[in-house]
Amino acid sequence: MLREKPILYIVIPCYNEEEVLPVTAPMFKAKIESLVASGLIDDGSRILFVNDGSRDRTWEVLTELCASDPVFTAIKLSRNRGHQNALLAGLMEAKDLADITISIDCDGQDDIDAMDEMVRAYNDGCEIVYGVRSDRSSDSFFKRSTAQGYYKILNALGGEVIYNHADYRLVSSRVLNELANYKEVNLFLRGMFPMIGFKSTCVEYSRHERLAGKSKYPLSKMLTLAFDGITSFSVKPIRIITGLGALTVVLSLVLIIYALVSWATGHVVPGWSSSFIGTTLIGGIQLISLGVIGEYVGKIYMETKGRPRYIVEERTWSNTDGGESGEKM
């Protein structure tokens, strides 16, 4: 299938990125220009930054960029909502303006030269093109091993995620219109796109070090995203608990028989250690189980509120339409 030249929007969430933006923004601009020059995309293509409630001069840097060149556009969220929500905000803005979007971090870690192949894959009929890291050598040993273990666990639990794919991907506006129907507030975008379906493919790229600034994903945020990923896509942890419960019941039946036999044969006093071990073990399992169930109850609580996932405070282009502000989309 041969498609018309698409309008591309590169969607880039930014949180406290004043240091890296002056370095990477010209790179993204050059990429758009080269894609236009090679006839892959329409010259109405743009870069859309999402300022995720930065506390530094990020918004000033972005507005200066937008004033300097029409290829840059930006929106400002009313406060920090986290990477996933910021990305969703950008994608929802772009879905009515573009034919295709590519989401990427603003720190230059993901190789922008993979975009050519992504657009070509779209021209060949793919609606989603996942950027997949070919190696993880730029990561610390800790991040590398935890990330790989995590992908394995998530897939074993039934969540469908693409191995070594983060949020660097091309998505067509057609897919984004479907994504708009997914109203969940516990967002894990990389797990949602495979669920939407359509023809998709993967493009490999190598990941570099951050060009400037520090990671905005401390361990705590990474763990939150990891838990959200599991509990938003799988009820297996609850099933595992049920299984553990059944196992504990069987084990305690054996213990009861043992206790009765000991009682009948007169060996009752030395039972203290075994009963102590039993109660503590079961107490621990019960607490963990309550925690996991509580995790899901908490999610239901947040979902039933149906609060907006982000609020757009400002756009650098004139758009009188109030957008999603104040409404859950």
Cα–Cα distance measured from residue 64 to residue 151, given in angstroms and rounded to the nearest whole number: 39
Enumerate residues 57-86 that contact ligand UDP by CB under 6 A: 80, 82-83, 86
Residue 86 vs 175, nearer CB to ligand UDP: 86
Among 134, 137, 177, 215, binds ligand UDP (CB under 6 A): 215
DSSP letter assigned to residue 110: B
Pairing of strands 165-172, 46-51: unpaired
Q: Is 103 in the site for ligand UDP (CB under 6 A)?
A: no
Enumerate residues 96-125 that contact Mg ion by CB under 5 A: 105, 107, 109
SS3 readout for 17-57: CCCCHHHHHHHHHHHHHHHHHCCCCCCCCEEEEEECCCCCC
> Residue 149 is inside which H or E element, if any?
helix 141-156
Give bridge partners of residue 73 from the DSSP assignment. Answer: 48
Q: Is 100 in the site for ligand UDP (CB under 6 A)?
A: no
Cα–Cα distance measured from residue 122 to residue 8, given in angstroms and rounded to the nearest whole number: 11
Residue 54 CB, shortest distance to ligand UDP, in Å, is 8
Show the site string, 5-24: x = touches ligand UDP by CB under 6 A, - = not: --------xxx-x-------
Residue 80 vs 262, nearer CB to ligand UDP: 80
Residue 139 CB, shortest distance to Mg ion, in Å, is 10
Phi and psi at residue 312, to the nearest 5°: -85, 120
Residue 17 vs 99, nearer CB to ligand UDP: 17
Enumerate residues 23-52 that contact ligand UDP by CB under 6 A: 52
The entry of ligand UDP, Mg ion, none near residue 126 (CB within 5 to 8 angstroms by kind) is none
Number of residues that bind Mg ion (CB under 5 A): 3
Which region, left, alpha or beta, applies to residue 102 given φ > 0 means left and ψ of -120 to 50 means alpha? beta
Cα–Cα distance measured from residue 110 to residue 85, given in angstroms and rounded to the nearest whole number: 20
Cα–Cα distance measured from residue 114 to residue 54, given in angstroms and rounded to the nearest whole number: 28
Which two structure tokens, joined as six digits, stand for 12? 């880039």
Nearest Cα to Cα of residue 65 among 119, 133, 134, 17: 17
Q: Is 105 in the site for ligand UDP (CB under 6 A)?
A: yes
Residue 110 CB, shortest distance to Mg ion, in Å, is 8
3 state SS of 93:
helix
Among 217, 237, 255, 286, binds ligand UDP (CB under 6 A): 217
Residue 256 CB, shortest distance to ligand UDP, in Å, is 51
Which residues of this protein are in contact with Mg ion, per CB under 5 A? 105, 107, 109
Which residues of this protein are in contact with ligand UDP, per CB under 6 A? 13-15, 17, 52, 80, 82-83, 86, 105-107, 109, 215-217
